[in-house]
Amino acid sequence: MATTPAPRPGERVTGAPAAGTQSLPRHIAIIMDGNGRWARQQGLPRIEGHRRGVASVRRATEHCARLGIEQLTLFCLSSENWRRPAAELDFLMHLLEQYMIEERDLLMRERIRIAMIGSRAGLPEATLAALDRTVALCAGNDGMRLCLAINYGSRAEITAAARALAEECRAGRLDPATITEETLAARLDTRGMPDPDLVIRTAGELRLSNFLLWQSSYAELWVTDTCWPEFTELHLDDAIRSFAGRERRFGGISAQ
């Protein structure tokens, strides 16, 4: 299928209504789904789908960085994924560790910064060490932020933020009457990060799966039936083009 180039930062998309045209999304978040499904369709073990998915991570990261996207957040492992077979989880942890080491050249070349959201509890020490080393190595970069959601669940994140506010109120450091949306957002894992403008989900599932529930309140959603191992720059361009043609009203009235 022919695909026209994605818009550059600040560029308006020809053919879209003027009022509904937007520049590139500031923050793209992706629910990378369908690794196991793809492997099953190919007659391969599930872990081969995860292995193939790493190439899609590389493509998406490099493409977003070169387009000038400010932040890319990838849903790597949910807090619910611990229900999967131990062998598969061990492989995923090894794959993450390997990625953190092997992609350092790319991350430095594209000046990408790394961040992690989610709980460190239960993650192997070797995986955390590789992640921490890469975060430190990329700390001085001034390009796109690549945020990895690992052992992450949005409800747990919001619950922890509410608990922190309650503790501050009990200690007398915070007046409950002064709590605002911004006050709670400052206690989330994503504090200091922009909310996602565009949430992409692969493999055709029409749900957020406990991913960035607070942050995605006004995000534009784009879903493709393509499984993550087959997700390419062309799919990403299609999602960005769809975003660029939408009118984001944030509860207001259409300019039309």
- Chain segment 241-256, per-residue pLDDT in tens: 999 999 887 766 666 6
Q: What is the pLDDT of residue 83?
A: 79
Residue 46 reports pLDDT greater than 80: yes
Express each pLDDT in 173-202 by its tens digit: 999 999 999 999 999 999 999 999 999 999
Percent of the chain with pLDDT over 90: 83
Q: In which residue are the tokens 């807090």 written?
A: 79
Q: What is the pLDDT of residue 249?
A: 72
| Cα 99 to Cα 126: distance, rounded to the nearest angstrom | 12
**Residue-range domains of the chain with CATH:** 22-157+196-244 (3.40.1180.10)
DSSP for 2-39 reads --PPPPPTTPPPTTS-GGG-----SEEEEE---HHHHH
Express each pLDDT in 91-116 by its tens digit: 999 999 999 999 999 999 999 999 99
| Neighbouring-strand partners of residue 146 | 72, 114
| Cα 182 to Cα 236: distance, rounded to the nearest angstrom | 31
Residue 170 reports pLDDT greater than 70: yes
Residues with catalytic function: 33, 81
pLDDT band at 82 (very low <50, low <70, confident <90, very high): confident
Please give the DSSP secondary-structure letter assigned to residue 185: H
Residue type, 141: N
pLDDT band at 51 (very low <50, low <70, confident <90, very high): very high
Q: What is the pLDDT of residue 80?
A: 82
Q: Report the mean per-residue pLDDT for the chain.
A: 90
